[in-house]
Amino acid sequence: MPVRWEESHAFVASFELTPTGEGPLTGLTFAVKDVIDIAGWTTGCGNPTWAATHPPAVAHAVCVEQLLCAGATCVGKTVTDELAFSLLGQNAFFGTPLNPQAPDRVPGGSSSGSASAVACGLVDFALGTDTGGSVRVPASNCGVWGFRPSHGLISVAGVLPLAPTFDTVGVFASRGEVLLRVAGVLLAAPPEPAGEPNTLLLVKEAFALADSEVQQALAKPVQQLRAHLGSRVRELSLRDLAGDEAGASWSAWYQIYRVLSWAEVKSCLGAWIAATQPPFGPEITASFALVDQLDRCQVAEAIERRERFARQLHRLLGPRDLLCLPTTPTLAPRKGEQISRTRGGYYPRTLAQTSVAGIGRLPQLSLPVGRFAGVPVGLSLLAGPGQDLVLLSLAAQLAEPLLGDG
């Protein structure tokens, strides 16, 4: 789909940073979410007051240096939701990047511009950040590959800290082969032979509680995986994922993520917000108001539960075992649609599912293999911690027949 640069509304700045070396990314172009430093530019983080109160970056973020050194060319900075604190991709100051396959729907956020730039075919790949779903959700919405790495394996130096326990730098690409090469560079990990998974574990509640449009969009790809893998496909419940009854409902997962991420967001941004009183768009204003009301006495219990669930996830996911669930439980919301952070609303439902990777510090890949009435729907695969390249090579292999059908 040929979309012109300015029609995408994906960029806040364009330029050309030439490669500093040759390597596996030679000839590829990329874009960078505007929460990641590019030397000489003020990292704007989607909010004009942030830009006005911070000096320009003096160095590229470490992850950008890696890409330039491996031969890639950086062509611009992309729109982000304000302070990366939204899953929608509608910035009150910088607009809404185009979701080219579903133009009446949001691209998803907070890495909205990076997802859009890749979906519009304007770059080969793009960097985003993913704390609670900010790469995976827009990848699903826009119909591109979106990768969140194992926590801590890709440097976040020169990247806005939002909630450090969950913050990651992730990657969008329209082709699995490109994503594999980019991830190999960023993770400095050796290539993994393609092959077959040991077990594919379908999370029952994730499929059962998704909207029927999502169920329908993913029915055929899941059916194809079942046909291909036979008895290696197993269903398991949320209770199995958590290892105890406390994790048997999605709300338990959401609560862990909500309490910890809000506590960390306040630690990272609260002092600046209190001192500066920046104007925010209405959605972000409401979100920070909620963050401010968090009872921090809940933090200790949330951490205990988080670590208990994480240990169980690590026990569960042996080598070449994959978890599988819909990336999001709903289609991308329509532009301007009312979105809720309260019980049963868009945020709690979506964040519960994206929290599995965050809680387990696991790598997750959203594959653009589903579609409902033309609207893209991502199917996600997760693997054990540090199994990023195994995940990507298995997924590339598994996705081939699914994509051929797309």
Q: Which stretch binds a second copy (CB under 8 A): 247-255, 306-314, 315-323, 397-405?
A: 306-314
Residue 227's CB: how many other CB atoms inside 10 A? Answer: 10
Binding mask 360-399 for a second copy (x = CB under 8 A): -x--------------------------------------
| Among the listed residues 13, 51, 62, 194, the single contact to a second copy using CB under 8 A | 62
Q: Is 267 a catalytic residue?
A: no
- Structure tokens that stand for 320 in this block: 């070449």
For Cα atoms 400, 377, 47, give the angle at the middle one, nearest 5 degrees: 120
Q: Which residues contact 80 (CB under 8 A, 6 or more apart)?
A: 33, 34, 35, 45, 46, 91, 94, 109, 110, 111, 112, 113
> Is residue 304 a contact point for a second copy (CB under 8 A)?
yes
SS3 2: coil
CB-based contacts of 84: which residues, under 8 Å, 6+ apart? Answer: 33, 35, 45, 46, 109, 110, 111, 129, 131, 134, 160, 162
Residue from 5, 14, 21, 239 binding a second copy (CB under 8 A)? 21
266 Rama sector, left if φ>0, alpha if ψ -120 to 50, beta otherwise: alpha
Of the candidates 13, 51, 69, 209, which one interacts with a second copy according to CB under 8 A?
69
- Which one of residues 122, 126, 183, 185 is an interface residue with a second copy (CB under 8 A)? 185
Q: What is the residue type of 360?
A: G
* Contact flag: residue 192 with a second copy (CB under 8 A): no
Question: Measured between alpha carbons, how far is 221 from 19 in angstroms, rounded to an integer?
Answer: 38
* Contact region with a second copy (CB under 8 A), list: 51-59, 221-229, 352-360, 397-405: 51-59
| Residue 172 Cβ vs a second copy, minimum distance, rounded to whole Å | 21
User: Which residue in 44, 100, 108, 158 binds a second copy (CB under 8 A)?
Assistant: 158
Piece of the chain touching a second copy by CB under 8 A; list 136-144, 161-169, 214-222, 328-336: 161-169
Sheet holding 233-236, edge to edge: 11-17, 73-78, 29-33, 125-129, 169-173, 145-148, 364-372, 375-382, 321-326, 199-203, 233-236
Report whether 119 contacts 12 (CB < 8 A).
Answer: no
Q: CB of 127: closest distance to a second copy in angstroms? A: 14
Total binding residues toward a second copy, as defined by CB under 8 A: 51
Task: Give the Cα separation of 317 and 330 in Å (integer).
Answer: 26
Q: Is 300 in the site for a second copy (CB under 8 A)?
A: yes
Of 24, 48, 121, 161, the one binding a second copy (CB under 8 A) is 161
Of 259-278, which residues contact a second copy (CB under 8 A)?
Answer: 260, 263-264, 266-268, 270-272, 274-275
**Encoded tokens for 246:** 């406390």
Listed in sequence order, the residues at least 6 apart from 294 whose beta carbon sits closer than 8 Å to its beta carbon are: 259, 262, 263, 266
111 is catalytic: no
The interface region with a second copy, picked from 59-67, 207-215, 219-227, 352-360 by CB under 8 A, is 59-67
Shortest Å distance, C-beta 208 to a second copy = 30
Q: Looking at 8, 33, 261, 266, which residue is catalytic?
A: 33
| End-to-end CA separation in angstroms for the chain | 15
Catalytic residue among 111, 114, 134, 355: 134
* One residue of 5, 51, 54, 204 binding a second copy per CB under 8 A: 54
The nearest distance, CB 155 to a second copy, in angstroms, is 5
Nearest residue to 118 via CA among 22, 187, 29, 230? 29
- The minimum distance between CB 226 and a second copy, in angstroms, equals 34
134 catalytic residue (yes or no)? yes
The residue from 92, 95, 121, 165 that contacts a second copy (CB under 8 A) is 165
Q: Annotated catalytic sites, by residue?
A: 33, 110, 134
